[in-house]
A and B are shown apart, each in its own frame.
Chain A
Amino acid sequence: MKPGLNLISLIHCCSSALFAEGPAVYAIHDARVVRVSGPPIEHCTVVVRNGLIEAVGENVVPPADAWIIRGSGLTVYPGLIDALSTIGISGPRPPPATPALSPPPPAAGPEDRPSNTSFLRAADQIVAADPSVEAARDGGFTTAVTFPTANIFAGQGVVFDLAGMRIGQMVIDPSAGQYITLRNNGSSFPGSLMGVIAYIRQIYLDADRYKVAKAIYDKHPKGLERPAYDRTLEGVIESPRVLLPAHRAVEIDRMLQLARELKIRPILYGGEEAWRSVDSLKRSGVPVLVTLKWPEKAKDGDPAVDEPLRVLEMREKAPSTPGVLAKNGILFAFYSDGIATSKEVLKAAKKAVDAGLSTSDAVRALTLSPAEIYGVSDRLGSIDNGKIANLVVTDGDLFADKTKVKYVFVDGNKFEPAPESPDAKKDLEKTQ
C-alpha cells in the first residue's frame, strides 16, 4: 500500500500530466461515506473508474488496478456544488461603481431591448485557469453553476466541473437557465423597479409571439412578412429555467406571482426571508437558492442611525431560513454569493445548522439539491454507482471548524488542496 500512496503524491506533483493520461482508478477504503442519496455508511469503500463512481458499499473489494486510499478516519462526501456563482468568469463582472466614460445608448422602451443579453452563455465565457476555479476546488467544491450577471436578462448559466484542461470537458450542462436581475437603467428605460418588471413581461410576450410568428412563417413562407431574427428572444426561449432575485418575503411573493403570470419555471435566489413565505413556496413548488452571505450590519454605517426592527429581525432570522425550508419540504440549495473562501462558505452554512438545519440537510443543500434544481441529479450530487466521480474527502465533519479537506475528486481526478498559508488568501485577494 505504501508505494501506492507515494505514487499518488508523485502524480499530484505533476497534475498537468494527469489530464493527458486520463484518470486513474481509485478506491477509498474503509471511510465514512455520506452518500446523501441514502444514510451514511461507516467502513465503506468507494471505487472510482474512468471518471465515474463504479461501486459504493461496505463489502466492496478494492479492484486490483486501483490506487488505494486508506479511508480510516476520513469522510467522503459528494463534491460540493455552488448553486449560483461567477466562478470561472474572469475580468470585471459587476457594473463598475464609478461611471463609465461613455453613456450607453438610451433606450426609449422595451422594443430597444435594453439590458438584454439573454443569448450570452457562461459556458462560452468561463476560463479554466481562472484562480477562482482552483480556490473553490481546494475547499471541496467540485461543481459550480456560473452565470453572466451584468444585465436584466444577463444570459445563460453553465453547470461545470471545477477541473479540466479544456472548457468543453468541464461543462456538464451549458444551458442551466437564464439569470435575471432587477437592475434598472437609471436615466434610460427601464429606470425603475416597476419599469424593469414591465420590461421583463414585455420580453416574454415578445418571445411568445416570436415563436408563433416563426412557426407560422416556417410553414407558409409565401406571402407572409418574414419575422425578424432576434437573438435576445432566442436566448430567452432556449433557457429551460429562469433565476429570479427574491430576498425579502415581499419580493418572493412578487417573483412567484410574476413567474405564474409568465408561465415560466423559476428558481428564486436570495431567500433571506423565505422563512416567512413557506406557504406560498410550498404551493408553488418553486426551489430557492439561499445565499450564504447572511445579511449583516453595514460596516461603514452611522452607529447613531436607528435600524428598523424589520431589518434587525431579517438579519436575526435569515440563517434560520434553511432549517424552516427543510422542515417544510421546500427544495433549496446554498450559493456562495461571493464569499471569500470555501472555508468561509462552509462556516456560513454552519450558521444555518446552528439555527436549526440538520447537518445532513446542509450537506444536501450543497450537493444533491442543487443537482436536482438544475436537472443533473442523474449525474451529480450523491455517491451512487454510475454518477460522475466528484467527491470531497475530509478528516471530519464537513462543517466542523478544524476539519480539513484531504482530497478532492473531480471527474475521477484526484486533487490535494494546497496547504493553507496566510499568504495564499492575500494573494488571492490581490488577484481580484
Chain B
Amino acid sequence: MIRFCRLILLVAFAGCLWAGSDDTFFLRGATVHPISGPEIPNGSILVRDGKIIGVGVSLTPPKDVRIVEGKGLQVYPGLIDSATEIGLSEIGAVRETSDVSELGRLNPQLRASIAVNPSSEHIPVTRANGITAVISLPDGEGLSGQASLMHLDGWTTDEMEVSRTAAMHLRMPVIQTIRSRFGEGPPRIPYAEARKTYQKQMQELNEFFESARRYQKARSAAAPEFKPDLKFEAMIPVLEGKVPLLITAVRERAIRDALEFADKQKIKMILARGDEAWKVAGELKTRNVPVILGETLSLPLDEDDPYDKPFTTPAELYKAGVKFAFGTYNVSASRNLPYQAAAAVAFGLPHDEALRAITVNAAQIWGVADKMGSIEEGKWADLMITDGDPLQTQTQVMQVFIKGKTVDMDNKHHRLYEKYLARP
C-alpha cells in the first residue's frame, strides 16, 4: 500500500514538474547513464532545441532555460526496439487493423513508415515504458518491404519518421516439412517436395537480384530502352550497400543460407531473429553481421535443447563478439523490451551489455548512432527518467523525452485504470 501511494505521488510530482512542450531544458541532480560511458552521479544534461548540448557533473544552467530537478532519479537514453509492428498492426486477430503483410513474395518497394498509424493506442502505451524509437517492420514471405525507424512521438508520420528505409526485409526461404504445430499430428510435407519449393523460391530470389542488378546497369548507362521499375528502383540502395538487407532466419541452415546469399549478392546484411545464431557465431563475427535477436523469454526450438537455450543465447553471442540488439517482433509487448534484455542478464549477459543492446547497439546497427542511442553531445534528447534500473520491472518510468520534447505519459491503460479504480 505504501508503494502504491508513492507511485501516485511521484506521477503527480512529475506531471507538474515537466509540464510544457518546450524542447529546451536543463536537467540536474540525477544519476546520468550515458551508456557511451560510465554513469555520472549528480549529473546534468543541457538540452536545446531537442538536442543534447552538454552532459556532465558541474554544468551551470544557462539563465534562459527551464530547470528539471532529477534528484534521486536515474536518466537513461530512450530505448530502441529493433523489431516491431508498431503502427502497422492494432489488433492482432483483426485483419482490417493490420498493414504488416502485403500479397506477393517480392515487394521491396513497400515502405513501412507510410502506413504507420500515429494514432495507434500502442504508441503511448509503449513509450510510457521508456521506448522512444522502434523499427516498424513489414513482414511476409520473401522480400516484404522496407523497415522504418520511427520515433514514438509526433502528430504525423513525417514527424515520427527517423529513417524511412532503415533496412530491406527479407524472410529467407526455408525447407518447411512441418506446416504447423497446431492440432493433433501436424501435416507433414515430404522433404523432397519441401526442398523443391525452397529451391524454386531461392531461384526466384536470385533471379530477382540479378534482374535488379541489370536494371541498375541499364539505369546508370541511361540506355534508351530503359523503363523505370519501382521494385528494382527500391533495390538499388540495397545493391549499393547503402541499405542493409535484414534477413530473417531462425535455424542454422537458414542462417548459413542467408550468409551465403549475402556474400554472393555482396550486400550488407543484418540477421533477424537468429535463434540458432549461437551455432554460427564465428561466421557472424568474421563477417561483422549484427543480429536483431527476438524475445529472450521464448521456448527452445527443439525438445532436446537445453531448457535455457534462448536465455543463454545473448550471452553466448556476446562472448563470441557478435554485435546484437533486441527486438520484440511484436506490437503489444514492445513495452517489455527491457525485460527481454534483463532475462539474458540472469543467464550470463553483462548488465551493461544488455542495456547497450536496447540503446547504442541498436542505433549503430540502424545507422543512427550520431542521432540516438546514448546520452552524448550532439544527439537528440531521447531520454527517460526512472526511479531505478529500467531492466527491472518494478522500476517506474517517470518521464520520457523524445527529441527533447516532454511526451505525454498518459495512455489508454492508465486512463482506464483511473476510470475504473474510481468506479463507485
A and B touch in their complex, CB below 8 angstroms: yes
Set of chain A residues within 8 Å of B193, measured between Cβ atoms: 300
Cβ–Cβ contact B191 & A301, under 8 A: yes
Whether, in the assembled complex, A38 has its beta carbon less than 8 Å from a beta carbon of chain B, the answer is no
Q: Which of A156-198 contact B (CB under 8 A)?
A: 184, 192-193
B191 adjacent to A308 (CB under 8 Å):
no
User: B304 at interface (Cβ–Cβ under 8 A)?
Assistant: yes
User: Which B residues are in CB contact (< 8 Å) with A309?
Assistant: 303-304
B221-265 at interface with A (beta carbon < 8 Å):
251-253
Q: Is A305 an interface residue (CB 8 A)?
A: yes
Across the two chains, which residue of chain B brings its CB closest to A304? B253
- A308–B194 contact, CB under 8 A? no
0/1 interface trace, chain A 293-331, chain B, CB 8 Å (1 if under): 000001011111110111000000000000000000000
Min CB gap A320→B, angstroms = 22
- Total number of A residues with any Cβ neighbor in B under 8 Å: 14
Do A304 and B175 have beta carbons less than 8 Å apart? yes
Known: A308-B303, A308-B304, A309-B304. A303 touches B191 (CB 8 A): yes
Question: Of B177, B302, B303, B304, which contacts A302 at CB under 8 A?
Answer: B177
Scan B181-224; emit 1 where CB is below 8 A from any A CB, else 0: 00010001011111000000000000000000000000000000
Q: Which residues of A contact B188 (CB under 8 A)?
A: 298, 300-301
**Shortest CB–CB separation between residue A96 and chain B, in angstroms?**
15
A46 to chain B, nearest CB (A): 49
User: Which residues 251-308 of A sit at the B interface, judged by CB distance below 8 A?
Assistant: 298, 300-306, 308
CA distance A282 to B421 in the complex (A): 62
Give chain B residues whose Cβ lies under 8 Å from the Cβ of A310: 303
Q: Is the CB of B177 within 8 A of A301?
A: yes
Partner of A305, one of B177, B184, B190, B192: B177
- CB closest chain-B residue, reference A310: B303
Smallest CB-CB separation from B195: which chain A residue? Answer: A302
Which residues from chain B contact A306 at a C-beta distance below 8 Å? Answer: 302-304
Which residues in B have their C-beta under 8 angstroms from that of A192?
184
Q: How far is the CA of A248 from the CA of B223 in the complex (A)?
A: 69
Cβ–Cβ contact B177 & A184, under 8 A: no
B127 smallest CB distance to A (angstroms):
40
The one of A193, A300, A303 in contact with B190, judged by C-beta atoms closer than 8 angstroms, is: A300
Q: Provide the bound-state CA to CA distance between A192 and B194, in Å.
A: 28
Which residue on chain A has the smallest CB distance to residue B302?
A306
A residues in contact with B192, CB < 8 Å:
300
Residue of A nearest to B192 (CB): A300
CA distance A66 to B331 in the complex (A): 89
B175 lies within 8 A of A302 (CB) = yes
Does B184 contact A193, Cβ atoms closer than 8 Å?
Answer: yes
Inter-chain contacts of B191 with A (CB < 8 A): 300-303
Q: Which residues of A contact B251 (CB under 8 A)?
A: 304
Closest A residue to B301 by CB, please name it: A306
User: CA–CA, A233 to B302, complex, Å?
Assistant: 45
In the assembled complex, which residues on chain A have CB atoms less than 8 Å from the CB atom of B190? 300
| Chain B positions within 8 Å of A302 at CB level | 175, 177, 191, 194
Taking the nearest CB of chain B, how far is it from the CB of A191, in angstroms?
Answer: 9
Complex contacts, A300 vs chain B, CB 8 Å: 188, 190-193
Q: Which of B175, B253, B302, B304 has the most CB of A within 10 A?
A: B304
Q: Across the interface, which residues of A come within 8 angstroms of B304, CB to CB?
A: 306, 308-309
Chain B residue with Cβ nearest A308:
B303
Closest B-chain residue to A303, C-beta based?
Answer: B191
Least CB distance from A251 to B in Å reads 13
Within A180-231, the residues touching B (CB, 8 Å) are 184, 192-193
Give every chain A residue within 8 A of B303 (Cβ-Cβ). Answer: 306, 308-310
- What is the chain A residue whose CB lies nearest that of B175? A302
CB-nearest residue of chain B to A300: B190
Complex-state Cα separation, A301 to B190, whole angstroms: 6
- Find chain A residues with CB under 8 A from B194 CB: 302
Q: Contact: A308 with B302, CB < 8 Å?
A: yes
Q: Provide the bound-state CA to CA distance between A308 and B305, in Å.
A: 9
Contacts of B252 in A (CB 8 A): 304
CB neighbours (8 Å) of B177 from chain A are 301-302, 305
Q: How far is the CB of A28 from chain B (nearest CB, A)?
A: 50
Residues 124-154 of chain B: 1 if any A CB is under 8 Å from the residue's CB, otherwise 0?
Answer: 0000000000000000000000000000000
Minimal Cβ-Cβ distance residue in B for A311:
B303
**Chain B residues whose C-beta falls within 8 Å of the C-beta of A308 in the assembled complex:** 302-304
Residues of B within 8 A of A193 (CB): 184
> Which one of B175, B184, B253, B302 contacts A184 once the chains associate, using CB atoms below 8 Å?
B184
Distance A192 CA – B184 CA, assembled complex (angstroms)? 8
With most chain A CB atoms within 10 A of its CB, the pick from B177, B193, B194, B251 is B177
- Chain A nearest CB: distance from B351 CB in Å? 33
Point out the residues of chain A lying under 8 angstroms from B184, CB to CB. Answer: 184, 192-193
Instruction: Write the chain A residue with the least CB distance to B253.
Output: A304
A303 to B175, CA, bound (A): 11
Closest chain A CB from B197 CB (angstroms): 12
CB distance from A189 to the nearest CB of B (A): 15
Tell me, rounded to whole Å, the shortest Cβ–Cβ distance linking B196 to chain A: 12
Q: How far is the CA of A407 from the CA of B251 in the complex (A)?
A: 57
CA distance A305 to B253 in the complex (A): 10
Q: Across the two chains, which residue of chain B brings its CB closest to A301?
A: B191
Proximity bits, B282-308, A CB within 8 Å = 1, else 0: 000000000000000000001110000
Q: Which of B190, B191, B302 has the most CB of A within 10 A?
A: B191
- Compute how far the CA of A309 lies from the CA of B306 in the bound complex, rounded to whole angstroms: 13
Q: For A303, what are the chain B residues with a Cβ–Cβ distance below 8 Å?
A: 191
Which residues of A lie under 8 Å from residue B178 when comparing CB positions? 305
CB of A198 to closest CB in B, whole Å = 15
Distance (whole angstroms) from the CB of B246 to the closest CB of chain A: 23
User: Please, how many angstroms separate the alpha-carbon atoms of A184 and B183 in the complex?
Assistant: 12
The answer for the CA separation of A310 and B302 in the assembled complex, in Å, is: 12
List B151-192 residues whose CB lies under 8 Å from chain A.
Answer: 175, 177-178, 184, 188, 190-192
Query: How close is B278's CB to chain A, nearest CB, in angstroms?
Result: 14
Proximity string of chain A (4-41) to chain B, C-beta cutoff 8 Å, 1 when within and 0 when not = 00000000000000000000000000000000000000
Min CB distance B298 to A, Å, is 17
B129 to chain A, nearest CB (A): 36
Task: Enumerate chain B residues within 8 angstroms of A305, measured Cβ to Cβ.
Answer: 177-178
A300 to B194 CA separation, bound complex (whole angstroms): 10
Nearest-CB distance from B176 to chain A (Å)?
9
Q: Give, as a whole number of angstroms, the nearest-CB distance from A156 to chain B.
A: 27
- What's the Cα separation between A263 and B304 when bound, in Å? 39
Residues of chain B within 8 A (CB-CB) of A184 are 184
Q: Report the bound CA distance from A308 to B302 in whole Å.
A: 8
What string of 1s and 0s marks CB contacts (under 8 Å) between B311-353 and chain A? 0000000000000000000000000000000000000000000
Name the residue in A302, A304, A306, A309 with the highest tally of chain B Cβ atoms < 10 Å from its Cβ.
A302
B130 to chain A, nearest CB (A): 38
CA–CA, A302 and B254, complex, Å: 13
Supply 27 A–B pairs (Cβ within 8 Å), ascending by A. Answer: A184-B184, A192-B184, A193-B184, A298-B188, A300-B190, A300-B191, A300-B192, A300-B193, A301-B177, A301-B188, A302-B177, A302-B191, A302-B194, A303-B191, A304-B175, A304-B251, A304-B252, A304-B253, A305-B177, A305-B178, A306-B303, A306-B304, A308-B302, A308-B303, A308-B304, A309-B303, A310-B303
Besides the known contacts A298-B188, A300-B188, A301-B177, 4 further A-B residue pairs in the complex with CB atoms under 8 A apart: A184-B184, A300-B191, A302-B175, A304-B253
Instruction: Give me the 8 closest cross-chain CB pairs, A-B, nearest first.
Output: A300-B190, A308-B303, A306-B302, A302-B177, A302-B191, A300-B191, A304-B253, A308-B304
